[in-house]
Structure 1
């Protein structure tokens, strides 16, 4: 057994039975493991408890608010935030155990971890966002908080930070089917944020958005070096950039579609 450190591993979940055990078990040094579940109908809760986690139920608030709620439930002020489909490598476990005690005694606000992507069952090798993507995932809850957005949240802090070298892994979407379902959900959440901000639709930009997004990912971010997997991830990203704009335009033109879409997502189990 690895010696524990006074920190809380936090994972927010809904129907993550196939992934949650690997995530929780990859952080053997956490003094506390907390799962904040928003209504799983599979065995997520039972599996999380069997793997040492305390489970708290919270109706879904959006990614940012849900993470901020989770921080209030932790027994320790230092928090490691992972998603259920993420897990630490042995190299990162060793590095964290060696460096975290000194970090936690200082006045740093957060630590940056490097995330590597597993896509279509294999690690990406060249695509820039998938190889060593820097993400603030370890933080002191009194010195940092998550942005209050429904999706694509980020950790906000003003103080000092440190960066760790070894990666953690993101086993992204078992198939393109799951990816497309996530695109539907994330687009809906993003569009609702836009509605609150009264953003203009600017549909004239849409044809250029696809082209520029694809070129950025496939060429500038080196997706082409990962072969057809690089093409697939770049094309999917460009489609997402276009679809959320079309969906937002529809929300403005036909406000009734907001409710019917929400009902459709709920029936399909995609309301998170």
Structure 2
């Protein structure tokens, strides 16, 4: 009998969050975990949850997740990061939907950990494509922000999941610095236009979109920090591209 749902997770030293992630996926027909060299308790936790474990050196965000997807045997792929977990009502929603699917892919609402708190219930979530037919989906190869793309119909499904992100401001700043460096060559290859205008206008727009549009203001200083650091990330992405065009021999440094 063919498998219906394969949960797919990639890991590297994720012992702190993996237990909650895999516990939320126990309703799936299988859990496929592709590890890239963990030295903490990640693999022990995965074994405890009955995951089918494979290992390979890290190949990049998109290629690593695609390799994990190809190991899955289910018709449907539920793709989570090791610091994410599906809510209880999200599991029931997915099971009901896949009894009579209306689409080839589904965007799910992600609730973001904001430094020291979960967001206010009225804070708007980030919708991300995480559930799709294996035969219709694949990872794109965008550096850092690789995401699934689906050939077919994609709709929103109210099956929430949580992302336990960086617990400290220093961790968040370090991450946006690394990620922005990782995007420089990709953006240069795409020949991004109007970089000066983007530097001036895009960061404040990102801040307003989050702080007002997604109601991060309901979360006190944690919401302000989250919106401000995301705006800083928007600035760094284009500032580093401009820097690289002015000083191409040096290149970006994390």
Q: TM-score range by the shorter chain?
A: 0.7 to 0.9
How much has 1:127 moved relative to structure 2? 7.3
* Counterpart-to-counterpart distance in 2, 1:64 and 1:140: 17
Matching residue within 32, 53, 57 for 1:55: 53
How much has 1:201 moved relative to structure 2? 7.5
**RMSD between superposed Cα atoms in Å:** 2.5
The answer on 1:218 being equivalent to 2:205 is no
How much has 1:200 moved relative to structure 2? 5.4
* Counterpart-to-counterpart distance in 1, 2:239 and 2:157: 39
User: In structure 2, do the counterparts of structure 1 residues 162 and 242 end up closer, same or farther at CA, with 3 Å as the change threshold?
Assistant: closer
The answer on 1:136 being equivalent to 2:129 is yes
How much has 1:25 moved relative to structure 2? 1.1
Q: In the alignment, what sits opposite 1:250?
A: 243
- On the 8 A contact 1:7/1:30 being kept in 2, the answer is yes
User: In structure 2, do the counterparts of structure 1 residues 98 and 178 end up closer, same or farther at CA, with 3 Å as the change threshold?
Assistant: same
Q: In the alignment, what sits opposite 1:32?
A: 30
Give a deviation string over 1:18-72, Cα, whole Å, max 9, x none.
1111101111111211112223333322322232212222333332222222211
User: In structure 2, do the counterparts of structure 1 residues 209 and 136 end up closer, same or farther at CA, with 3 Å as the change threshold?
Assistant: closer
How much has 1:215 moved relative to structure 2? 2.6
3-state SS in 2 of match to 1:115:
strand
* Counterpart-to-counterpart distance in 1, 2:184 and 2:54: 28
Matching residue within 45, 69, 74 for 2:43: 45
Matching residue within 210, 221, 226 for 1:228: 221
3-state SS in 1 of match to 2:25:
coil
- On the 8 A contact 1:11/1:83 being kept in 2, the answer is yes
How much has 1:231 moved relative to structure 2? 1.3
Q: In the alignment, what sits opposite 1:270?
A: none
Q: In the alignment, what sits opposite 1:78?
A: 76
- On the 8 A contact 2:89/2:159 being kept in 1, the answer is yes
- On the 8 A contact 1:65/1:146 being kept in 2, the answer is yes
- On the 8 A contact 2:9/2:32 being kept in 1, the answer is yes
3-state SS in 2 of match to 1:193:
helix
Q: In the alignment, what sits opposite 1:189?
A: 182
* Counterpart-to-counterpart distance in 1, 2:190 and 2:213: 31
Taking structure 1 as the reference length, the TM-score comes to 0.82
User: In structure 2, do the counterparts of structure 1 residues 258 and 77 end up closer, same or farther at CA, with 3 Å as the change threshold?
Assistant: farther
How much has 1:11 moved relative to structure 2? 0.8
3-state SS in 2 of match to 1:159:
coil
How much has 1:256 moved relative to structure 2? 4.5
The answer on 1:112 being equivalent to 2:110 is no
Structure 1's unaligned 5+ residue stretches are 266-272
Structure 2's unaligned 5+ residue stretches are none
Q: In the alignment, what sits opposite 2:162?
A: 169
The number of residue pairs the alignment matches comes to 253
- On the 8 A contact 2:105/2:155 being kept in 1, the answer is yes
Taking structure 2 as the reference length, the TM-score comes to 0.87
User: In structure 2, do the counterparts of structure 1 residues 102 and 216 end up closer, same or farther at CA, with 3 Å as the change threshold?
Assistant: closer
- On the 8 A contact 2:87/2:162 being kept in 1, the answer is yes
* Counterpart-to-counterpart distance in 2, 1:163 and 1:204: 33
